[in-house]
Amino acid sequence: MVNRIYNFSAGPSTLPLTVMETIKEDFLDYNGIGASIVEISHRHQIFLDILENTKKLFRELTNLPKNYKILFMHGGAQMQFSAVPLNLISRKENKGSYFITGRWGILAEKEARLYGDTEIILDGKTYEYRKIPTFNNRKLDKGTSYAHLTTNNTLYGTRWNSFPNTWEVPLVADATSDILSRIMDYSKFGIVYAGLQKNLGVAGVSIVIIREDLIGNALPQTPKLLNYDVVEKQNSLPNTINVFAIYVMNLVIEWIKKQGGVLEMEKLAKKKSDLLYDVLDDSSFYKILAFPEHRSLMNVTFNLKNETLLKKFISNSEKEGFFGLKGHYLLGGVRASIYNAMPIEGVKELSSYMKEFEKING
């Protein structure tokens, strides 16, 4: 019997146990062919079937409109910080607009400056990124090429509960940390992209969901592997794709479908996060980072009011079988990432541990 811990890491994150077991079974001999999945050519029909099934399942789970294409690209979500402006910024005034609600928005806007002008149309810095300010869409220049936001902020534990109206300006969303954890109307976006390593599988690849009319606007200097037009026309295979990552994603979204789909994931996310927020709200021992109205359902961030006890909290938690609770190095504190694959039993045990730790040390 394998000794499995509860992995609360922000990413790479925990995977469903049944998916891990399937990977283990397939690794040496995929589907009885006598070769591993990682040994199969990305152009072999075996992999092409996996690729097409992955796209089909994603469309089904998201009710994705027909005029959206699904691309898979190297480099994870941060590579899209470059790909988005390279492909979109020349559409109108050679300018991209950015909603800054945390570290990933800061990095995305900084990267876009290499390829054109940028404007920051909302910045939560005043609130130390612990809440998302109200957006007045009259501030948005209708001539801007796109408007970019991060749907869920892993560092600060905040999220957009509803998304801003950007009129005819394409809204671009980095949904890495909450994709397929809540119902989203993809028709409201020009592009939604995400690294796979939190809710979709393993690291190294990003999924890009893009409206058809936005393809074909790349700057002349755009590298081939970052050009949406090239990637779409070659079925995400302009070079050797990460076969293993797509295979794992296929298993993960099959698992989500078996759990009841995205709606059930959303319900479960609320139950899991409530277990932790209820402990924190009832406590004078812990201190929540995010404002109540913008709390993430994926990343619960907090600190101890007596910060000298933080090291003890983390070390004791590891002895109890909880892994990855240490907060991001920029913020410190505690971060419990409870993505789709985290079982509710793990969250229940963590909430019990938090109560007991407060009882003993409070």
Tally the domains of the chain.
2
pTM to 2 decimal places: 0.97
* 50/124 same-domain check: yes
How far is it, in rounded angstroms, from Cα 236 to Cα 238? 6
The catalytic residue positions are: 104, 174, 198
Q: From its phi and psi, is residue 149 left (phi > 0), alpha (psi between -120 and 50) or beta?
A: beta
* Rg, the chain, Cα only: 21
pLDDT at 179: 98
Per the domain annotation, does 9 fall within a domain? no
| Chosen domain end from 242, 259, 276 | 259
CATH number, residue 295: 3.90.1150.10
Residue from 273, 270, 243, 269 nearest 256 by CA: 269
* 201/87 same-domain check: yes
Answer whether residue 172 shows pLDDT above 90: yes
* 236/357 same-domain check: no
Answer whether residue 346 shows pLDDT above 70: yes
Answer whether residue 307 shows pLDDT above 90: no
Query: What is the span of the domain harbouring residue 143?
Result: 18-259
Confidence at 1, pLDDT banded by 50, 70, 90: low
pLDDT at 292: 96
* 160/186 same-domain check: yes
Contact 305, 283 (CB under 8 A): no
Query: Average pLDDT of the chain?
Result: 96
The tens digit of pLDDT for each residue in 18-42 reads 999 999 999 999 999 999 999 999 9
Confidence at 137, pLDDT banded by 50, 70, 90: confident
Answer whether residue 300 shows pLDDT above 80: yes
The tens digit of pLDDT for each residue in 70-92 reads 999 999 999 999 999 999 999 99
Answer whether residue 7 shows pLDDT above 60: yes
CA-CA-CA-CA torsion sign (351, 354, 360, 362)? negative
* 141/279 same-domain check: no
Confidence at 3, pLDDT banded by 50, 70, 90: confident
Answer whether residue 2 shows pLDDT above 90: no
Answer whether residue 144 shows pLDDT above 70: yes
Spell out the residues 6+ positions from residue 272 whose beta carbon is closer than 8 angstroms to its own. 297, 338, 342, 344, 347
Number of Cβ within 10 Å of residue 360's Cβ equals 9
The pairing of strands 334-337 and 286-288 is unpaired
Amino acid identity of residue 261, one-letter, is G
The tens digit of pLDDT for each residue in 198-210 reads 999 999 999 999 9
Q: What is the mean pLDDT of residues 210-223?
A: 97
In percent, the amount of the chain with pLDDT more than 70 equals: 99
The tens digit of pLDDT for each residue in 259-296 reads 999 999 999 999 999 999 999 999 999 999 999 999 99
